[in-house]
Structure formats: C-alpha cells, structure tokens
Amino acid sequence: MKILVTGGCGFIGSHTCCELLDNNYEVVVIDNLSNSKEDVIDKIKKITNKDLKFYKGDLCDKELVDKIFKNENIDAVIHFAGLKAVGESVKKPLLYYRNNFDSTLTLLEVMCKYNCKKLVFSSSATVYGNPKTLPIKEDFPLKTTNPYGSTKLYIEGILKDLYNSDHEWSIAVLRYFNPIGAHKSYLIGENPNDIPNNLMPYIVKVATGKLEQLSIFGNDYNTIDGTGVRDYIHVVDLAIGHIKAIELINKEKGIDFYNLGTGHGYSVLEIVKTFEKVNNVKVNYKITDRRPGDIDACYADCSYALKKLNFKATKTIEEMVKDSYEYAKRNS
Ligand code: WQD
C-alpha cells in the first residue's frame, strides 16, 4: 500500500514515515520545507533502511499534486502539512486561512480526481478550546480560541461535508494533544529553527545553553501547582497512532474523530522537575504573566481511540523528557 505523507519532513510527519516504512508501507512525501529540512529524508532512510520518494514543493501547487497522483498510484494520504504556530496565527490570520485551506482543498480535489478516498487528517486538541470538565471526550463542544485552531476545526467540517456528499470516503481525524520526545536513534526530533513557541523545545534550548531562561507563563491557574497542565504524548506513540488509523480506514468507510493523548496531565513545573531529574541538568526559569489564550488544563479521555483504533500510548513522561534532551544534545 502506497501512502502520500504531506509535511513528511516535519516533527510528527518524519516519525510517522519511519513507522510506515517499518510496517512495510511504501511512502511518498511532499513537503515545502517551510518548517523542516530536506536532510530529514536521508535520516528516515538511514533509520529504516528503506527507500521513500520525496517531492519538494507546496500542496497549493495543483500541477505538482496532480503529477504525484498521476505518477505514484497513491492508495491513501496522511495530511500533516500546514502552518501551526498559535501565536503567529493570531498576528497573521489571513496567511493561516489561505495556506491551510488552499493546501487542503487542493489535496482533496486531486484525491477525488484520482479516486483516492482514504485520508488521515492531522487535527489538534485545540479544537476543544477551554473544556468545562476533564478528561476531554471526542463529543465535547468544539470551540477554538485562535485562527490556527480554527483552521483545524473548519477543515474537520469540510471533511464531514465531503463524506456526507460521498460515502465512499474513509476519513480518520486525529486530535493530537501535546507531542514531545524523539526517535530512539536521535536522528530525528523537534528542532525549531527560531525561538520555540512550545514548552519542550524551549526547555531543551535552555538546558543546552542555547537560551538563557525559561519563562513559565503564569502560576495562578486552577491546577495542582498553579502552572498549566497538558497531556504530553511521545511522538513515536503518536506515529503509531497513525498506523492504527491507516489500518482502520483500509477496512471501513466513514468519518470519525479520535483523541491521541495519554489521558494524564502534567503541569509545567512537573515537566521541568522531571526533565531536570531524568537528565541530571538544571533548567533556569522564572514565573511570568500568563500567555494570552492559554487554558488552565487539558488532557484526553483515550477510551475511544483504544476501542476503535486499538491505540494506547505506552511511553512514559520520563522517556519523553529523556528523548527530547538526547536528541537536542546531538542536533542543535
Ligand atoms: C504547554 C504549556 C504554556 C512555552 C499548542 C497548540 C497545540 C499544539 C501544541 C500544534 C502551557 C506553557 C509554554 C513556554 C510556558 N500545536 N509554556 N513557557 O499551548 O498546550 O498547545 O502547541 O498542533 O495545537 O495549541 O503547547 O507547549 O505552547 O504550552 O510556560 O515558553 O507550557 O503556558 O501551559 P499548548 P505549549
């Protein structure tokens, strides 16, 4: 079975390509390298000792996407590609709507043309907004608080309408919680070029001396120690969740939505302390004001993903903080 992975050079995309190749799928990647590097393709080949096809380019380029489907006989698509920085999306909403909608609509139109109707879509827990209760179930109210999250929510709506228009589609929408960690080879991982928005890449840059001090955004939340609580999931577990989703859409038509998390929430301070203890390194931090748009706490009810996808995350928070650090020490 040949899988097109859009954004396959990215953090989650590259780990998913490794899992796909290890499970004997053929892989084709399209990536415009706007937030990744081309050498990731060689690292995936080295890790898996398998070949894969890479097309450098943009999903908004309909000619290129058509050429890929014409040449490659794609059986299914895992769609990661898109802009994903919450803060940037607040400053540049039109860029986010134009890019994330154009790329997705172009992909779907070409998939229809070539009768390729199996899709795994990369969504996000951010579609739940600030949940009233926890843990979060897939049928909770959906309410976004930033343009990035809204692109994910509206694309979920497009996919529902697409399925309602043609029941030949098989669509799995995966709502990620907070992915961290790295492949055990430490050849691939999360390594943003500029100042990181997210917690773990920032901690790692402080721990490796690249940045001076971590700012902990607020300690007056309604949580165990006042700092924000999130459901961190190892990126390799997340990648395995995509294999389970491919297996499902290969068997069943329809559209469904799945939380990919661990079901356990950790506070920022708990993450910092665990990171320091596991890696025997100090993380210099200070408490600052809340970050606008942040919520108190967020963690998944994972029972539906277990029931329908037979997916359960297995890696511990200790493995996550260790792998994040080991990768960064070798790659920054
Ligand atoms: C985690 C916690 C912060 C940075 C976002 C998107 C989500 C997904 C993951 C794309 C919060 C605190 C963070 C820092 C801090 N992205 N923090 N200092 O906001 O839960 O989720 O990224 O798919 O869709 O919404 O992740 O890592 O930014 O923050 O104190 O320098 O760490 O306040 O409590 P978030 P995050």
- pLDDT tens digits, one per residue of 189-208: 997 768 899 999 999 999 99
- By three-state DSSP, how is residue 187 classified? coil
Instruction: Please name the residues in contact with 32: beta carbons below 8 A apart, sequence gap of 6 or more.
Output: 56, 57, 58, 59, 81
Instruction: Judge if pTM exceeds 0.95.
Output: yes
- State the burial class of residue 39 (Cβ atoms within 10 Å of its Cβ: 0-12, 13-18, 19+): exposed
Q: Whose Cα sits closest to atom 9 in ligand 1?
A: 178
- The ligand 1 atom at the shortest distance from the C-alpha of residue 125 is 24
8 A C-beta contact, residue 198 and residue 268:
no
Ligand 1 centroid, distance to 323 Cα (angstroms): 18
8 A C-beta contact, residue 151 and residue 234:
no
8 A C-beta contact, residue 65 and residue 110:
yes
Our answer on whether the CB atom of 41 is closer than 6 Å to any ligand 1 atom is no
Region 100-128: mean pLDDT is: 98
Sign of CA dihedral 225, 227, 232, 235: negative
State the pLDDT at residue 301. 98
The answer to whether residue 142 scores a pLDDT higher than 80 is yes
What's the Cα-to-Cα distance from 99 to each of 14, 32, 81, 194, 323, rounded to whole Å?
A: 21, 12, 10, 20, 32
State the pLDDT at residue 136. 98
State the pLDDT at residue 290. 96
8 A C-beta contact, residue 2 and residue 26:
yes
What's the Cα-to-Cα distance from 43 to each of 9, 18, 48, rounded to whole Å?
A: 10, 10, 9
Domains and CATH numbers, the chain: 2-180+233-261 (3.40.50.720)
Is it true that the peptide bond before 135 is cis, omega within 30 degrees of 0?
yes
Give 95-101's long-range contacts (Cβ < 8 A, gap of 24+): 96/147, 96/148, 96/151, 97/147, 97/150, 97/151, 99/60, 100/151, 100/152, 100/155, 101/151, 101/154, 101/155
Q: Whose Cα sits closest to atom 7 in ligand 1?
A: 126
Our answer on whether the CB atom of 145 is closer than 6 Å to any ligand 1 atom is no
Q: What is the CA radius of gyration of the chain?
A: 19
> Residue 99 half-sphere exposure, CB side, CA atoms within 13 Å?
17
Ligand 1 centroid, distance to 324 Cα (angstroms): 15
- pLDDT tens digits, one per residue of 231-287: 999 999 999 999 999 999 999 999 999 999 999 999 999 999 999 999 999 999 999
8 A C-beta contact, residue 156 and residue 239:
no
Q: Whose Cα sits closest to atom 14 in ligand 1?
A: 199
Residue among 60, 144, 71, 152 nearest 108 (CA): 60
Going by pLDDT thresholds of 50, 70 and 90, the confidence category of residue 60 is: very high
Sign of CA dihedral 38, 42, 48, 49: positive
Q: Which residues are catalytic?
A: 148
Ligand 1 centroid, distance to 140 Cα (angstroms): 21
- The ligand 1 atom at the shortest distance from the C-alpha of residue 267 is 34
Instruction: Please name the residues in contact with 145: beta carbons below 8 A apart, sequence gap of 6 or more.
Output: 126, 129, 130, 293, 295
- The ligand 1 atom at the shortest distance from the C-alpha of residue 291 is 33
- The ligand 1 atom at the shortest distance from the C-alpha of residue 229 is 34
Going by pLDDT thresholds of 50, 70 and 90, the confidence category of residue 52 is: very high
The answer to whether residue 82 scores a pLDDT higher than 90 is yes
Our answer on whether the CB atom of 84 is closer than 6 Å to any ligand 1 atom is yes
- State the burial class of residue 115 (Cβ atoms within 10 Å of its Cβ: 0-12, 13-18, 19+): exposed
Ligand 1 centroid, distance to 268 Cα (angstroms): 10
The answer to whether residue 162 scores a pLDDT higher than 90 is yes
The answer to whether residue 53 scores a pLDDT higher than 90 is yes
